[in-house]
Amino acid sequence: MPAFYAGKRVGKPLMGGHTYNAMFNGKLVWPLDKDTVVSVNITDDKGKPLPKSLAVSGTLKLGAKATYADGHVGDLLTTNDVTFTSRDTSTATISGNTLTWRHGGTILVTATVNGFTSAAASIASAYAPESIKVTDDSGQPVDAVTLRVGESRNLKVTVLPDAASQEFTASAASPDIAVVGDAKPTGITVTPESLTLRVGETASLNVNILPDYAPQEFAANILDKTIATINSKE
């Protein structure tokens, strides 16, 4: 840490080419290079790189290593001699070295060692589902469905916010009346629609099952395999 006199930073005293120091309250006014932190790297509590994201309701134990002016790297610090801070407590909070999820967004964490504060480390904070939107094939909201015997209807379910996990489980309250399953295909588009090949030539076809959110699995066949064959590519 630098020394100040009358509000101004004081340089280290030099005499005859040697640096002289002073004691104040039992401490050197100008810390030695081996005690002067020049950078801090934030890790987990095992010294490994931070994960890229933190799951909903997740926690993470933090650690930090300081690099000093003489070039050496200090021991891994977790709770003693280091202070961790969350720059935005709406996304995550910190108690000791435990980072705890609060809301989706970007978590910014700093670590302070010997008065030196690191640059903020960034971790993506997952978004928790807040609501569900159900629409029909045309994109219109659906609040209720009326079906006759044998009828079916395709519904698209979107979990909000869009950044939240889109995994969900749909079920019918009365399975004896109706059941819920994968969307039923309503059509197939193939691009290009027609194709002419010469001997030895190949071409790619793009097959899309409609609606887009229906299962995209299909089997392609050639009626006359003596003329051409099909190889599927994932």
For position 47, which CATH number holds?
Answer: 2.60.40.1080
State the residue range of the domain holding 200.
183-234
Residue 33: φ, ψ to 5°: -55, -35
pLDDT digits (tens, 9 = 90+) for 118-163: 999 999 999 999 999 999 988 899 999 898 888 888 889 999 999 9
Query: What pLDDT is stored for residue 42 in this prediction?
Result: 98
Among 181, 197, 224, identify where a domain stops. 181
Residue 94 included in any domain = yes
CA distances 180 to 159, 169, 172, 218, Å, are: 17, 10, 6, 21
Evaluate whether 203 touches 191 at the Cβ level (below 8 Å).
no
Evaluate whether 82 touches 47 at the Cβ level (below 8 Å).
no
User: Dihedral of CA 26/32/35/37: which sign?
Assistant: positive
* Of 85 and 70, more confident: 85
Among 81, 97, 125, identify where a domain stops. 125
Q: Report the alpha-carbon distance of residue 110 to residue 63 in Å, rounded.
A: 11
Residue 147 included in any domain = yes
Give the number of domains in the chain. 3
**Percentage of the residues of the chain whose pLDDT score is greater than 70:** 87
136 and 78 together in one domain: no
If one counts every other C-beta atom within 10 angstroms of the C-beta of residue 127, the result is: 17
166 and 217 together in one domain: no
pLDDT at 81 over 80: yes
71 and 121 together in one domain: yes
**N-terminal to C-terminal alpha carbon distance within the chain:** 60
Whole-prediction pTM: 0.65
Query: What pLDDT is stored for residue 20 in this prediction?
Result: 64
Residue 91 included in any domain = yes
